[in-house]
A and B are shown apart, each in its own frame.
Chain A
Amino acid sequence: MIKHLRLPRLSWRFIPVWQRNYLVWKKLAIPSILGNLADPMLYMLGLGFGLGSLLPDIDGMSYLSFLAAGTVAYSTMNAATFEVLYSSFSRMHVQRTWDAILNAPMTLDDIMLGELTWATSKSLLSGVAILAVIWGLGLFGNFWMTLWIIPVVALVGFCFGGMGLVMNAVSPSYDFFLYYFTLVITPMVLLCGVFFPVTQLPPLLQSVSAWLPLTHAIDLARPLVIGRVPDSVALHVTALLIYGSLGYVIALALTRKRLLK
């Protein structure tokens, strides 16, 4: 892998790849949106109303608001992850779409940047849909502040898109992705404060949690929902950027080894 590791050469040629994915998605946009959004919304509303009515306010916000802020980050993460795992894998391995594109004057750097920006776009849509529910139910503190959630969501999509591409690069089949969900995504959901505050965890797990990207995502999103400026914005933004970029660079090296050896 070391042999294949180098800085990506970024160019605007990633746009046709993004566009290809967009045009395919457009054909199935309505069912795809419903499918992507129904699940997180049902969880959020079901748990938020059902469980929330039994719980006291957390840090001065209702449990529903608390959960809604977590769901924005969680659903964005899932959308990006699913896209670069299952969909990108279909295009790379099953349909050999990437092979076809590589015969044109395109590089793997372009293709994977196209995939990453596409995953970011799709997860942006997911995050914004949850945000729309937050607006609709009036779960926010300050409307103008919640607009900052849009760039946050894009950043979260970028972060998990980049990370997921690494899995895509090393996976022999679809089944392999289950490991990533069981060993990375699900623990992260439980450790990063989606459903309950991180402060409820034992100290050791709290310090693990501080390193996880979803924690940084939620630390940005949650204050913005209730109308507060988040603490340590630079730290969280940098952490998400590093996870995403590092993922992209490593994934590029691994995929280069896989397809261009």
Chain B
Amino acid sequence: MLKVRGLTKTYGDTEVVRGLDLDVRRGECFGLLGPNGAGKTTTLRLLLGLTDPDSGSIELAGIKVPQMAREARMKVGVVPQLDNLDPDFSVRENLLAYGRYFGMSKAAVTARVPMLLEFAGLANKADAQIAQLSGGMKRRLTLARALVHDPDILFLDEPTTGLDPQARHLIWQGLRRLLAEGKTIVLTTHFMDEAERLADRLAILDHGRRVVEGAPRALIEAHIEPAVVEVFGEGLADWTRAHAATLCLRHESVGETLFCYTATPDSVIDALKEVPALRYVHRPSNLEDVFLKLTGRDLRD
């Protein structure tokens, strides 16, 4: 569905995308993860033909981009990072106006509006003004708008950033429904739980390169020990010196917390119980551990 080879893009002296390869199969949800400035949004812009690459090739739904970007965008629905619904139009009018940009007749869009509103959970808001909608409703409408021309593939740039848990779950439900209908989804996100939940496969980008690619479970198993015990509290430094090397397969001190990666969490916990001043959280390892291991813990501002 999407094939990217050797994609590069430079702004001034900064190489934002450096030789990126990607393959997204039909019907899958593919996650693009990476810290701020990793090149996720630039990659999406390149894929849509909104900016020209310095080198490399893109094939989107079998169509070459940027040469045939217009034709390719007919097949794609986009949910951008920042809401850009038309504030001068009602919910329904937003869908009607957007359909026209795809060359659809008013009758064709009108026929799809009830289905789109139902999908977005906005059936009773058809005539509401955009300013009256909550953040979650706006996102859902943006998603419905991206579906107005029944695209084969959807690009979502951080679709749930800034939403409360209820609203996020609604968006996820909607996306699962689209996957069940056979749509292909490419999604960027900062939220590891979101990627773990939705993505069949994902790539972690850093400094414009693909660091790793694979299914979330497989990546966790390949890169991280099965369990993590996070330890913090008074006397942590002494405990770390005395026990970390023997009890943990791998350990890492970050600020006031010790991350102990282990296959046998019970033995770590037994040892911790003898030091009441230390508190701990025991959890299975997750995608965030992979992400932080591969991209480091430094802030990217």
Q: Are B100 and A99 in contact (CB under 8 A)?
A: no
Q: Are B84 and A96 in contact (CB under 8 A)?
A: yes
Q: Which residues of A contact B85 (CB under 8 A)?
A: 100
Chain A proximity of B51: nearest CB distance (Å): 6
Say what secondary structure dominates the interface of chain A. helix
Whether B232 is near chain A, meaning CB under 8 Å from some CB there, is no
Given the complex of chains A and B, what is the CA–CA distance between A19 and B87 in angstroms? 16
Q: Which residues of A contact B234 (CB under 8 A)?
A: none
Q: Which residues of A contact B98 (CB under 8 A)?
A: 100, 104
Given the complex of chains A and B, what is the CA–CA distance between A187 and B39 in angstroms? 47
Whether A45 is near chain B, meaning CB under 8 Å from some CB there, is no
Q: Which residues of A contact B84 (CB under 8 A)?
A: 95-97, 99-100
Whether B277 is near chain A, meaning CB under 8 Å from some CB there, is no
Interface size on B, residues (CB 8 A): 26
Q: Are B88 and A27 in contact (CB under 8 A)?
A: yes
Q: Are B80 and A103 in contact (CB under 8 A)?
A: yes
Of the candidates B71, B76, B97, B149, the one whose C-beta lies within 8 Å of that of A16 is B97
Whether B50 is near chain A, meaning CB under 8 Å from some CB there, is yes
Q: Are A95 and B87 in contact (CB under 8 A)?
A: yes
Of the candidates A24, A99, A105, the one whose C-beta lies within 8 Å of that of B73 is A105
Q: Which residues of B contact A95 (CB under 8 A)?
A: 84, 86-87
Complex: chain B residue closest to A96, CB-CB: B84
Question: Given A13-B103, A24-B89, A261-B51: A103 and B78 within 8 A (CB)?
Answer: yes
Q: Which residues of B contact A27 (CB under 8 A)?
A: 88
Q: Are A100 and B80 in contact (CB under 8 A)?
A: yes
Given the complex of chains A and B, what is the CA–CA distance between A24 and B94 in angstroms? 11
Q: Are B51 and A104 in contact (CB under 8 A)?
A: no
Interface mask (B92-105 → A, CB under 8 Å = 1, otherwise 0): 01000110111100
Q: Are A23 and B50 in contact (CB under 8 A)?
A: no
Given the complex of chains A and B, what is the CA–CA distance between A260 and B87 in angstroms? 23
Q: Which residues of B contact A107 (CB under 8 A)?
A: 70
Q: Which residues of A contact B80 (CB under 8 A)?
A: 96, 99-100, 103
10 A-B pairs with least C-beta separation: A104-B101, A96-B84, A16-B100, A103-B78, A24-B88, A100-B84, A105-B73, A105-B70, A105-B74, A20-B97
**Can you name 21 A-B pairs with beta carbons within 8 Å?**
A16-B97, A16-B100, A19-B97, A20-B100, A23-B97, A24-B86, A24-B88, A24-B89, A96-B82, A99-B82, A100-B80, A100-B86, A103-B48, A103-B80, A104-B98, A104-B101, A105-B102, A107-B70, A260-B51, A261-B11, A261-B51
Binding site for A on B (CB under 8 A): 11, 48, 50-51, 70-71, 73-74, 76, 78, 80, 82, 84-89, 93, 97-98, 100-103, 149
Binding site for B on A (CB under 8 A): 13, 16-17, 19-20, 23-24, 27, 95-97, 99-107, 260-261
